[in-house]
Structure 1
Amino acid sequence: MDKSDHGNDQKNVDFKEQRWHKHYDKGVPAAIDFEEVPLHGFMPRAVDLFGDRPALVFLNATFTYAELFDKVKRCANALRSLGVKEGSRVAIQLPNIPQTVIAFHGAAMAGAEVVMTNPLYTLREIEHQWSDAECDFAFVADFIWEETIEPNRSKLRPKTYIVAHIPDYLRFPLNLLAPFKLARQSPKRYAKVKTGDGVHEFKPLVEGASNAPISMDRGMDEIAVLQYTGGTTGLSKGAVLSHRNLSCNAQQIHAWFPDVDPGHEVNLICLPLFHVFGLSVGMNWSIWAGSKMVLVPNPRDIPALVKAITKHKVTLFPGVPALFNAINHFPGVESLDMTSVKSCFSGSAPIPRDVQEKFEKLTKSTIIEGFGMSETSPVTHVNPLKGLRKIGMVGVPMSNTLAKIVDAEDDTKELGVGEEGELLVQGPQVMRGYWKCDDINAEVLKGGWMHTGDLASMDEDGFFKIVGRKKDMINCSGLKVFPDEVDDVLMAHPAILEAATIGVPDESRGETVKSFIVLKEGQTLTPEEIEKYARENLAAYKIPRQIEFLEELPKSSVMKILRRELRDREIAKNAGGAT
């Protein structure tokens, strides 16, 4: 994709009189009068409104919005001094540390287009992403630099690297103790860096730069981020997100929570900022609302999450079902006071009813399930916080968003209430298209609608239910089985902690249903007992014919269960058996 806009035209869209609008909470508008604030305007706006309020907490380091903005301006000037121009692409490959926030908004203020890169990526994945995005500059963590980047610089496009150390902004005594502790970890998380030849250390570079304002006129419809998808169907593609896409989505999220107290909320940022969920619902919404961001680098570190919630009195918690489930089962959690949490936003995967109910009882909070994609900045649907909330459904289209269900084989045929088909969405948060993929964009954004690839249905109230991905659907003798439905039933069993279902080849049925099961600690079950339980809750053709017990399920960096990895294992196993 070039810099032309393949996205949808919102000028003539009527957001009134949709069936779901009557279920919006009081104070949530059907259409928002958006402020025209590009991403490089977020920090100046926050300083004007919340300058002396705490902006960011990381271990024993705290910054006010004024202090954070000072570092963002210095970062922008440092980037300019290294040759970054408007439209340059800058990669950021960092965990959730202060430098990630500074680098992102510093790059935006310098006029750059940001490419968020997963710190867990292999060399092959990094090489593809940075080459495809044409990145000439990259922020990386020191341990990534030592292990992956420095030994392979000749294979990678960027010529200029800015290397950050996790302890850079910690205060005494952690700034002295942390390097030793991190260097002893396996794998280690601290490394010394030799500067020169296009290699700079983050803190000296930024702190030594000017904090003068930068003259830059980059508009709302310019590219802000190339957000690469997970690559579940091959090499990942870059979703082109404009300043308008990301700014409007932050404002849509903010409008959905009319009781949020600007300048006084505490948002737990444990979802990785390189993922669009963490980027928008964590960082960008926090800055828009003047919330204090509590950064946690590793979402799998449940003790750190629980400590952060209780110590900092977290009020807002964007998360995924696996995180809520893990906290529910954290030893001694019932004795802790977690009642500061008011509102939780769950996405990425369906949240089982028992997980939701237990967490809400534990914290006295409300979890609202929503839906989004990298391609939609990400949020398009969410349940009302106070009104009608339908557990097991992703809610209603949010302000300024339209959605419909069409036949999965014929997108010109719109389906009615209760019918299952492909979900299409339209709104200001929908991407401009995939980077360098004009042929795909013509289909994905056909008619101004984002074709999500998700199979869904809409009920009479305008609430949507995701029944599965088109590519995940299991075809058993011509009958459709949706893995999410099977997993939801299995996880309601009191002995089952997690479940993941896939389709595997079957000579007689074409495909058959296989479920991978993780049991709760101390529990035992046999495949026969699981089949008997499933038979009581599922139609016969949906019952798992194969059961495999695992110690843990493969998960992404945002704790999303990776069915594709389970499918790959099965393919490899079958291939090995065939030889």
Structure 2
Amino acid sequence: MQAYPWIRHYDEGVPASLEPYPDMTLPQVVAGHAEAVPDEKALLFKGAAVSWSELDEKSTRLSKALGAKGIVKGDRVALIMPNTPSMVIAELAIWKLGAIVVPMNPLYTEDELKDVLRECGASAAIVLSPFYRKLQEVRKHYTFRFVIAASVAYDLTFLTRALFRLFKEKKEGHRISLVQGDMWLSELMESEHAGHATNIEAPLPDDPALFLFTGGTTGRPKCAVCTHKAMISSAMQISSWFKVVLKDTRPVVLLNMPLFHVYSQIGVFGVALVEGYPSAPVPNPRDLDDLIATIRKLKPAVLPGVPTLFNALIAHPKVRNGSNVLGSVKLSVSGASPLILETKKRFEALTGGHIIDAYSLTEAMIASVLTPIHGMYKEGAVGIPAPDVVVRILDPEDRHRELVTGEVGEVVMRAPQMMLGYWNRDEESAEMLRDGWLHTGDLGYMDEDGYLFIIDRKKDVIKPGGFQVWPRDVEEVLATHPDIREVGVAGVPDNYQGEAVKAWVVPREGCQPDPEELRNFCRQKLAGYKVPRYIELIDALPKSAVGKVLRRELAASHRL
């Protein structure tokens, strides 16, 4: 094995390699836990619990029922649901048939749902009841073999279910009437088909398990194809990092980031699945009161998030009042956007645990670069490659030329678990995957210790008057201003420069920063061509479902 410079900075106990990775499928992993620790908790939700043996049994019943309705190996099944136990059970049931899980953002508009459904060619859909009516509109333009509606009531205890039906079911849009031919998930689980074997063709380790949509911020969403073995391999790599803190315990892992995103599906849920940790699905992480109540009750050791969430928790009155509500959290992982040092320090002070930064892509199936937990921390770095992940920096103009330490170029990655490609998009797959290397489209550099610094997306680079400006450079400076809560930067058309730097600023509560004063602030820390020509104060930044600032939407909103 090549002696990569980053390996010497691994925390004690993290191996240089985990190869060979097991030839297993995700249902086999769950079956193993059901046999070894049948009564241990697999899922925790609103006072209810599902053991590993129950999870295995329920998913088997559902897989047989879905098989009886015609789902076979290779079919795609859309899951239009937030994080709930039913979603996890449905995923496992689909995998047991050798079919492919396609998790979708339930907040998609009707037009967005039509686009992603046509892209993946889903045969069937399982949808949580509040989103059923929206799907009915979509069905005027897209045909499913069948649709299954799920109710969150199915996942609750008897008492909580009764209270939910009395006070929330109708008020929050959960009470619906199904069209003829559709079924409730609970009815399907109890149907005559659920107890009978069908001609099920079990999946193989290298079979597709997941279609994960790319963020769509650089164009029309595409399906990145992930295999069973890839998901297991990624989870093992990340788990080797987590175990530095978690040791041999069985910690509760909070599933508060959406499972339709690679970060949560593989980087969090995958770890819990592979290691046999109990996970706690959270349907709406934006409901901070509910999230804090869940943390207080379940005392999770692992709390994933994005900088926006960590900042919101830091500022929340129930956290600021000294109640130590976050005291159980031993490890937090921050993804989707850069973690500022001030946020890291303040959150670690609240929890007494560790927060690490992470970098990856959907196409890399969370082949990760992470900051060490106890090792050297370098401000601005996203970390070092995990075991069996290799990162290089190539000349963007000559992709055959590797750049030296400190030079900015395109970040390329290689790992055992890269996507197979984009579904039905051979040309784009070939552009992204070349000779086993994933070309990320991100610009960055590595230092002599193997730490990776991401500068920006190639497509986000702003070119005022022929210069090059990376939005992140400007954002990091403005983020230090005491009157600014959040900031996003993008390039906008300009008659004089061709393209100009613009900053959209969300002020802190009670503040109204003056744009010219902010420009003067930037002039003290940035070269003149990087100082924003335009500054606009706004109430909120447009963000993706996982908190990533959507620079394209900012640029599209620009008005002179």
Q: TM-score under structure 2 normalisation?
A: 0.95
Q: Letter of the aligned partner of 2:553 in structure 1? A: E
Which residue is 2:253 aligned to?
267
Indicate whether 1:507 and 2:490 are aligned.
no
**Cα drift, residue 527 of structure 1:** 1.0
Match of 1:288 in 2: 274
Q: Distance in 1 between the 2:514 and 2:249 partners?
A: 52
Say if 1:150 and 1:477 are closer, same or farther in 2 by CA, change over 3 A. same
Q: Deviations over 1:52-87 (max 9, x none)?
A: 222212212221222222211112111111111111
The CA deviation at 1:91 is 0.9
| Counterpart residue type for residue 455 of structure 1 | L
- Considering Cα pairs closer than 8 Å and 6+ residues apart, tell me whether 1 or 2 has the greater RCO: 1
SS in 2 for 1:434: coil
Matched, 1:221 2:209: no
The residue number in structure 1 matching 2:107 is 120
Partner of 1:343: 331
Post-superposition Cα deviations, 1:101-131, rounded to whole Å, max 9, x if no partner, equal 1111111011101111110112222222222
Name the CA distance, whole Å, in 2 between partners of 1:21 and 1:196: 59
The CA distance in 1 between the partners of 2:527 and 2:349, in whole Å, is: 32
Compute the displacement of 1:177 (Å).
Answer: 2.5
Taking the aligned partners of 2:307 and 2:507, their CA distance within structure 1 comes to: 16
State the partner residue of 1:236. Answer: 221
- 8 Å CA contact 2:410–2:444 kept in 1: the answer is yes
Aligned to 1:534: 522
Cα distance, 1:234–1:181 mapped onto 2, change above 3 Å:
farther
Could you tell me whether the CA contact under 8 Å between 1:268 and 1:295 is conserved in 2?
yes
Instruction: Tell whether 2:466 aligns with 1:482.
Output: no
Structure 1 residue 559, shift from structure 2 partner: 2.0
State the Cα distance separating 1:132 from its structure 2 match. 2.2
Instruction: Give the letter for the 1:105 counterpart.
Output: L
Matched, 1:206 2:189: yes
Measured after TM superposition, the shift of residue 195 of structure 1 is 5.4
The answer to whether the 8 Å contact 1:518/1:551 transfers is yes
Gaps of 5+ in 1: 1-13, 575-579
| TM superposition shift of 1:155 | 1.1
Distance 1:152 1:339 in 2: 45
Once the two structures are superposed, what CA deviation does each residue of 1:149-208 show, in whole Å capped at 9, x if it has no partner?
Answer: 1234231132211111122221133212324544555xx4413232542x1101121244
Deviation at 1:225, TM superposition (A): 1.0
Aligned counterpart in structure 1 of residue 53 of structure 2, from 66, 75, 81? 66
Report deviation, 1:257: 2.1
CA–CA distance in structure 1, aligned partners of residues 428 and 314 of structure 2: 42
Residue 190 of structure 1, aligned match among 162, 168, 174: 174
Counterpart of 2:29, as a letter, is F
Deviation at 1:212, TM superposition (A): 6.8
The answer (yes or no) to whether the contact 1:84–1:110 under 8 Å persists in 2 is yes
SS state at 1:376 partner: coil
Deviation at 1:546, TM superposition (A): 1.2
1:319 to 296, 305, 317: 305
CA–CA distance in structure 2, aligned partners of residues 178 and 109 of structure 1? 31
Q: TM-score, normalised by structure 1?
A: 0.92
Matches within 5 A, 1:139-158: 139-146=126-133, 148-158=134-144
Q: Distance in 1 between matches of 2:195 and 2:243?
A: 38
Deviations 1:307-337 (A, max 9, x none): 2222211111111111111111112413121
Structure-1 residue corresponding to 2:236: 251
User: Match for 1:446 among 418, 434, 458?
Assistant: 434
Residue of structure 2 in register with 1:44 after alignment: 31
1:137 has 2:124 as partner: yes
Relative distance call for 1:23 and 1:153 in structure 2 (3 A) is: same
Report the more deviating stretch, 258-267 or 339-348: 258-267
For the Cα contact (< 8 Å) 1:73–1:212, is it kept in 2? Answer: no
Relative to structure 1, the CA distance from residue 384 to residue 248 in structure 2 (aligned partners, 3 Å threshold; closer, same or farther) is same
Task: State how far apart, in whole Å, the 2-side matches of 1:383 and 1:449 are.
Answer: 22
Is the CA contact (8 Å cut-off) linking 1:53 and 1:263 kept in structure 2? Answer: no
CA contact (8 A) 1:73 1:213 kept: no
1:493 equivalenced with 2:478 (yes/no): no
- Do 1:299 and 1:558's aligned partners in 2 also have CA atoms closer than 8 Å? no
Maintained 8 Å contact 1:263/1:290: no
- What does the per-residue CA deviation read over 1:412-465, in whole Å, with 9 as the maximum and x for residues that have no partner? 111111111110000112111111111122221112110001111101100001
> Helix, strand or coil for the counterpart of 2:292?
helix
* Aligned residues of 1:491 and 1:499 also touching (Cα < 8 A): yes
User: 1:567 and 2:555 equivalent?
Assistant: yes
What is the Cα deviation at residue 370 of structure 1? 0.8
C-alpha distance in 1 between matches for 2:426 and 2:200: 33
**How many Å apart are 1:40 and its aligned residue?**
2.0
For residue 7 of structure 2, the aligned residue among 21, 39, 60 is 21
1:75 aligns with 2:62: yes
**2:544 aligned residue:** 556
Residues 399 and 213 (structure 1), Cα distance of their counterparts in 2 relative to 1, 3 Å cut:
farther
Equivalent position of 1:5 in the other structure? none
1:425 matched to 2:375? The reply is no
Matches within 5 A, 1:175-186: 175-183=161-169, 185=171
Contact kept in structure 1, 2:147 and 2:183, CA below 8 Å: yes
Q: Matched residues in 2 for 1:120 and 1:279: separation?
A: 17
RMSD: 1.8
Q: Partner residue of 1:277?
A: 263
Partners of 1:271 and 1:318 within 8 A in 2: yes
Q: Percent identity?
A: 36
Provide the secondary structure at the position in 2 that maps to 1:433: coil
The amino acid of 1:174's aligned partner reads T
* 1:368 positional shift: 0.8
**One-letter code aligned to 2:174:** Y
Return the letter of the residue paired with 1:289.
E
Q: Which amino acid aligns with 1:324?
A: F
Q: Equivalents in 1 of 2:64, 2:170: separation in Å? A: 35
Separation (CA, whole Å) in 1 of partners of 2:276 and 2:528: 52
Contact 2:217 2:550 (8 Å CA) reproduced: no
- Is the contact made by 1:130 and 1:157 (CA closer than 8 Å) also made in structure 2? no
The equivalent position to 2:455 in structure 1, one of 450, 453, 467, is: 467
CA contact (8 A) 2:455 2:472 kept: yes
Q: Distance in 2 between matches of 1:152 and 1:91?
A: 13
Mark the runs of 5 or more structure 2 residues left unpaired by the alignment: none
Name the SS for the 2:443 alignment partner: strand
Q: Distance in 1 between matches of 2:16 and 2:358?
A: 17
Q: Distance in 2 between matches of 1:566 and 1:431?
A: 30
Q: Contact between 1:395 and 1:463, CA under 8 Å: does it hold in 2?
A: yes
- Structure 2 CA distance for partners of 1:189 and 1:564, relative to 1, 3 Å: farther
| Partner Cα distance (2:271, 2:189) in 1 | 25
